[in-house]
Amino acid sequence: MSVIVEALISLLLIAGGIFVFIGSLGMAHLRDFYMRLHGPTKATTLGIGCMLIASMLYFWSVDGKPDIQELLITLFLFITAPVSAHLLAKSGLHLRLKHTVKTQGHPVELRAEEVGDKPVPHPDKGHG
Amino acid sequence: MIAPRSWLPTPVLSILLLVVWLLLVRSYAFGHFVLGGSLAILIPLLTHRFWDARPRIAKPIALLRFFFRVLGDIITANFEVAYLIANPWRKLKPHFIEYPLMLEERFTITLLASTISLTPGTVSANLRMDGKSLLIHALNVDDEEALINQIRERYERPLKEIYEC
């Protein structure tokens, strides 16, 4: 394995580690629930991406043939991360979690059918 | 949409399933083609009744361009958010924004909400039951109008062009 590839892999690993660390730091010490949500959904995606690219490069240089299996992890991560963030934020709204005073704008008042007090009409027409 | 045949309702999804299967088992032997291929036909057959009808992709090239733009934005978003979190002198201005939606199909709204969650400083929090507006929580906003316009021009309009025109 040449020195350049090795340096590149180490660089990617360190960068990935830093990003994941900052993401967790954000989750630990930002002011309120909604702000904390930003750390893990964003800073970590690039961190994990860096690590996976490093892994791909490493096994490519060791085995001698390209291996794109790690792309699947990235794919699943990109599909699932926004969904879980959305669900967390939504449940935060339903539980009426406090947000910091300096937050501008108001979270919407949930309507009766969104809280579940009223039956929900099915959004698809023609499905009965 | 491509005319749904009775045994292959979603050709694109079937191909995707086969590719994912082959990547997961890390083997391109003939047996895995057969197994993955039959799974790729069986799974959509068993499940496609539960899905919403997905709109037709009108412009595949625009979709590709949109994909790369979002990828670039994800990278800048990561740097931005990492800076905002790590900078000890920061003054964050979090903001709840109610974003009026232009899209109508539920599938495209899902795509837009996911894109918003993955890009700079914004997380989509709640979709109104009537599908008319999306609540967004932003980490640091100076100008609400500018952010809404940016999302509108950068993500929503391309999505509308790709899927709903």
ipTM of the complex: 0.76
Which range of residues forms the domain containing residue B24?
11-50
Q: Residue B43 falls within a domain, yes or no?
A: yes
Average pLDDT over residues A79-108: 80
Q: Residue B46 falls within a domain, yes or no?
A: yes
Give the confidence band of B118 by pLDDT, cuts at 50, 70, 90. confident
Q: According to the model, what pLDDT value does residue B89 have? A: 76
Q: Are residues B30 and B73 in the same domain?
A: no
Say whether B85 and A106 touch across the interface (CB within 8 A): no
**Residues of chain A found within 8 Å of residue B93, distances taken between Cβ atoms:** 102, 104
Q: Are residues B131 and B100 in the same domain?
A: yes
Say whether B95 and A67 touch across the interface (CB within 8 A): no
Q: Residue B55 falls within a domain, yes or no?
A: no
Q: According to the model, what pLDDT value does residue A119 have? A: 67
Q: Are residues B140 and B70 in the same domain?
A: yes
Judge whether A36 is closer than 8 Å to chain B, CB to CB: no
Model pLDDT for residues B52-78, shown as the tens digit of each residue: 666 677 777 888 888 898 888 888 878
Our count of domains for chain B comes to 2
Q: Residue B98 falls within a domain, yes or no?
A: yes
What's the burial of B152, exposed, middle or buried (CB within 10 Å: 0-12/13-18/19+)?
Answer: middle
Say whether A86 and B117 touch across the interface (CB within 8 A): yes
Q: What angle do CA B23, B29, B31 make, to 5 degrees?
A: 105
Whole-angstrom Cα distance, residue B43 to residue B36? 10
Q: Residue B1 falls within a domain, yes or no?
A: no
Q: Are residues B101 and B133 in the same domain?
A: yes
DSSP state of A104: B
Q: According to the model, what pLDDT value does residue A17 have? A: 92
Judge whether A56 is closer than 8 Å to chain B, CB to CB: no
Whole-angstrom Cα distance, residue B75 to residue B71? 7
Q: Are residues B103 and B29 in the same domain?
A: no
Average pLDDT over residues A90-119: 73
Q: According to the model, what pLDDT value does residue A7 have? A: 93
Q: According to the model, what pLDDT value does residue A9 have? A: 93
Model pLDDT for residues A30-46, shown as the tens digit of each residue: 778 888 888 777 777 78
User: Comparing C-alpha atoms, which of A13, A79, A7 is closest to residue A49?
Assistant: A13
Q: Are residues B73 and B125 in the same domain?
A: yes
Q: Residue B114 falls within a domain, yes or no?
A: yes
Q: Are residues B91 and B45 in the same domain?
A: no
Q: Residue B2 falls within a domain, yes or no?
A: no
Judge whether A85 is closer than 8 Å to chain B, CB to CB: yes
Say whether B141 and A22 touch across the interface (CB within 8 A): no
Q: Which residues pair with B134 in a beta bridge?
A: B99, B127
Q: Residue B158 falls within a domain, yes or no?
A: yes
Whole-angstrom Cα distance, residue B93 to residue B83? 14
**Residues of chain B found within 8 Å of residue A103, distances taken between Cβ atoms:** 94-96
Give the confidence band of A8 by pLDDT, cuts at 50, 70, 90. very high
Instruction: Give A21 or B161, the one with higher predicted confidence.
Output: A21
Say whether A114 and B82 touch across the interface (CB within 8 A): no
Residue ranges of the domains in chain A? 3-100
Among A32, A33, A36, A38, the residue to mutate for chain B (most B Cβ within 10 A): A38
Give the confidence band of A125 by pLDDT, cuts at 50, 70, 90. low
pTM more than 0.80? no
Model pLDDT for residues A13-71, shown as the tens digit of each residue: 999 999 888 888 888 887 788 888 887 777 777 888 889 989 988 988 888 777 778 88
Give the confidence band of A128 by pLDDT, cuts at 50, 70, 90. very low
Judge whether A115 is closer than 8 Å to chain B, CB to CB: no
Q: According to the model, what pLDDT value does residue A13 have? A: 94
Q: According to the model, what pLDDT value does residue B115 have? A: 86
- Comparing alpha-carbon positions, the chain B residue that sits nearest to A35 is B139
Taking 50 as the threshold, does the pLDDT of residue B1 lie above it? no
Model pLDDT for residues B15-48, shown as the tens digit of each residue: 888 888 888 887 788 888 899 889 888 888 888 7
Q: Are residues B127 and B88 in the same domain?
A: yes
**Residues of chain B found within 8 Å of residue A22, distances taken between Cβ atoms:** 82, 85-86
Judge whether A82 is closer than 8 Å to chain B, CB to CB: yes
With a pLDDT cut of 90, the percent of chain B lying above it is 1
Neighbouring residues of B11: CB distance < 8 A, sequence distance ≥ 6: B2
